[in-house]
A and B are shown apart, each in its own frame.
Chain A
């Protein structure tokens, strides 16, 4: 068993709206990331992926509030800390975050190197300017970025280059966990590939110890991460190794997701894409039973009243459905048989 880098136990966080309503965007989420591993989080917009990322790094600014649960980073419990303390002692060194629009995070009036100087001034003031410059240059070269980038203004860099610069800056303090929230969704395929190559290189070069990768592009997730977790309406509905989750999904929602993958490979044109009808439930007053019941093809009367917990069927493999594994498989094979006819 490897060292646990990040352990989250039953984390619940909520948004408080203007009308004092509680919206539980992350609802009893538990996860574990071991050293040297990466975890992918999939799900449609509004399912709580990004809120989970913000909650993990302790970014509790109104309207987001911490409710319960524990976050343990490399043996250190950081849950419920004051956001200011989090910024001083956790962000950057323990956990680093790459937001969705990372390319807009750079200050247009400052050269990249000044940005890096600022980072070190806040976290490691003993370093001299010369040391910082040398360190940054070395780090950038290891990560495959030209050292000239350091002396440039953000406007002089292309979108893909800006994104890679932000990633490089965020790992300079060797964080234990890196959270990448859709780092490549605004880029075209070639720049996306470069970003992914760099992210994979971070772990090999020892800049980070583990990674959480959030996206709704499943083919990308499959290629990047070791494990995949599918979220729906604030809850985990399925988790397991990447291969199992993509090729052998158990929960009806993940089954629908995997059926909507479009990749340019032979055989795609013969398959029929599955569309999931309807919209996710409003989390202001979530349904009492299964949250996916309204959109599920295989819904039964019991689904709407009994809430189900995660069923663990093997180590690290779990799903949230009222049906047992063999019952689900039977339902799926029956459907496949009907479709074939």
Chain B
């Protein structure tokens, strides 16, 4: 269970505006969120609700137009590249599309070695590095010996996504942002990926933030759920409260649109 006393990441009045004048588009609109240490949080919304923009701001890939992000109680400072790299030791991400997450020219062992370097393992003996990489690969059921000389595009989508988790295993960040980690994977392998992520979370005690449109997944994995609509936060709370007893009309509509199994799925409401 999350430690309610320790907030590791907090946003206050976070806003991102793209474009100016008539082209102005408010992607994220004054969002206040809190992420507790060791908790699993889901940010749910339809396409265009600003969830990925929010994730990019949390990661420091784009700058917010307005508002602040507080990391471990202090205002986040990533003005220089060095500070950014320092920040990325604490916060890491898995993206939706595993195919575009890798550098095409780097072999798999280079990808994993990079993670060891980021943790300050540059001077470790080679045998130790290989041992660490093999351990990470076996955690996600991949064989390191088969991968060493391969390029990312030689792997299947599921293997790439698992390799992403192996990276996280080596990096051991405090916060993991998972942006639609299973949407490119078919329903049958979803459980495998989720199991691995949850096992990893238990092992290194990190906070996991799921960004997803799959409400079933959000309900299954998370303690706290945030619902977003057009850049605004519409509802937040305990997963059971939000998903099973939604208060807002938007949340109710969103949940009623998901096909159900035990309950009747009412098609007349669209």
Contacts and interface: CB of A to CB of B under 8 A. Distances in A.
Q: Is this pair of chains taken from one and the same complex?
A: yes
Interface of A: 44-45, 188-190, 192-194, 196-197, 200, 216-220, 222-223, 246, 256-257, 259-269, 273-277, 279
A264 B216 contact: yes
A26 B33 CA distance: 50
A134 B243 CA distance: 46
Interface stretch (B16-24, B168-176, B257-265): B257-265
Interface in B183-205: 186-192, 194-195
Contact of B261 (A45, A192, A265, A269): A265
B243 A264 contact: yes
Contact of A264 (B219, B267, B269, B270): B219
A246 B260 CA distance: 12
A268 B261 CA distance: 11
B103 interface: no
A265 B263 contact: yes
Given A266-B244, A269-B239, A276-B192, A189 B254 contact: yes
B217 interface: yes
B257 A189 contact: yes
A260 B187 contact: yes
Given A200-B267, A220-B259, A223-B259, A260 B216 contact: no
B191 A274 contact: yes
A219 B216 CA distance: 11
Given A223-B259, A264-B258, A268-B219, A44 B188 contact: yes
Name the prevailing secondary structure of the B interface residues.
Answer: helix
Contact of A197 (B186, B240, B267): B267
A279 B188 CA distance: 11
A298 to B, nearest CB: 18
Nearest to A220: B259
Contacts of A193: 257, 267, 269-270
Contacts of A277: 141, 192
Contact of A257 (B188, B213, B243, B255): B188
A327 B254 CA distance: 42
Nearest to A44: B188
Interface residues of B, number: 40
A263 B188 contact: no
A112 to B, nearest CB: 22
A245 to B, nearest CB: 12
Given A194-B270, A262-B214, A273-B194, A189 B258 contact: yes
B262 A265 contact: yes
B47 interface: yes
A190 to B, nearest CB: 5
B188 to A, nearest CB: 4
Nearest to B259: A219
Given A188-B47, A265-B260, A273 B195 contact: yes
Contact of A263 (B158, B190, B216, B270): B216
Contacts of B240: 269
B227 to A, nearest CB: 12
Contacts of B46: 188-190
Contact of A45 (B186, B243, B267): B186
B220 interface: yes
Given A188-B47, A193-B269, A264-B244, 14 more contacts: A44-B186, A188-B46, A189-B258, A190-B270, A200-B267, A217-B259, A219-B258, A222-B259, A223-B265, A257-B188, A261-B216, A264-B215, A264-B216, A265-B263
A261 B261 contact: yes
